[in-house]
A and B are shown apart, each in its own frame.
Chain A
């Protein structure tokens, strides 16, 4: 998979980032920066931390994730985020919506590729 450039479209990123964050937290809980690194490992190489924390903040406010501080022997406590049951439901719903949009987009792109 080719990595999107660091100048990837911010609107596209805004659309897909919440889904990716919920999906990664569904796999396992993470602290903020670890989550950023996991997203970068997916291919969002130029992703800024400042884009991720606001999404986590909204999720926490809306009850889709919870957070707890885990003391660290090497430094200050880290704030871990974990997905809630509502978050799992929201993630499933978002995956369904994403699949529907992807299907529409692919249909449109296939028409563009078909020779007239």
Chain B
């Protein structure tokens, strides 16, 4: 019997609420147990929740299970070790990259505004070690940046730093020693 067959009697909304709860448990388990153990726990818990929800409703079932963080700690009781948080590292790294580009393009828009309003053909500034140029003339407008390597290296360094710090990558290194 597949998970889909088991879930077919839960409404779509209940399936979504169950999976959202499971994803929160999974998020907290990531800091405590290995990936294989985490998958085993989540599969087992999904079956338990689905079975119990048919008797008592999903709301009562999830309420009985309590806070996902506490439940994850109970599942990991005795096995918890300080592990690298790879998923958190990736999410934080990608968020940092997104933030970098949002700020970068906001800066570019500001430069375009200056070029347009001051009736000048070119504006130059530095954005985190990168020289950025915004220009406009009768033929059109555009942007450019110099320091060929820097425009690639700066965001890479930001992403790598955020990833290493938020994922606690050194825990994996300690484990291997």
Contacts and interface: CB of A to CB of B under 8 A. Distances in A.
Interface of A: 31-33, 36, 48-51, 53-54, 56-58, 60-61, 67, 69, 71-72, 74-79
A74 B54 contact: yes
B52 interface: yes
Main SS at interface, chain B: helix
Contacts, number: 80
B71 A79 contact: no
A48 B54 CA distance: 18
Interface string B46-83: 01101111111000010011100011001101100000
A67 B75 CA distance: 17
Contacts of B53: 76
Contact of B52 (A33, A51, A54, A61): A33
Nearest to A51: B74
Contacts of B9: 75-76
Given A53-B45, A57-B44, 15 more contacts: A31-B52, A33-B52, A48-B66, A49-B65, A51-B74, A53-B71, A54-B75, A67-B47, A69-B1, A72-B51, A76-B9, A77-B47, A77-B50, A78-B54, A79-B44
16 contacts: A31-B52, A32-B52, A33-B56, A48-B64, A49-B64, A50-B65, A54-B71, A54-B74, A57-B40, A72-B51, A72-B54, A76-B10, A76-B51, A77-B6, A77-B47, A79-B51
Contacts of B7: 76
Contacts of B66: 48, 50
Nearest to A78: B51
Contacts of B8: 76
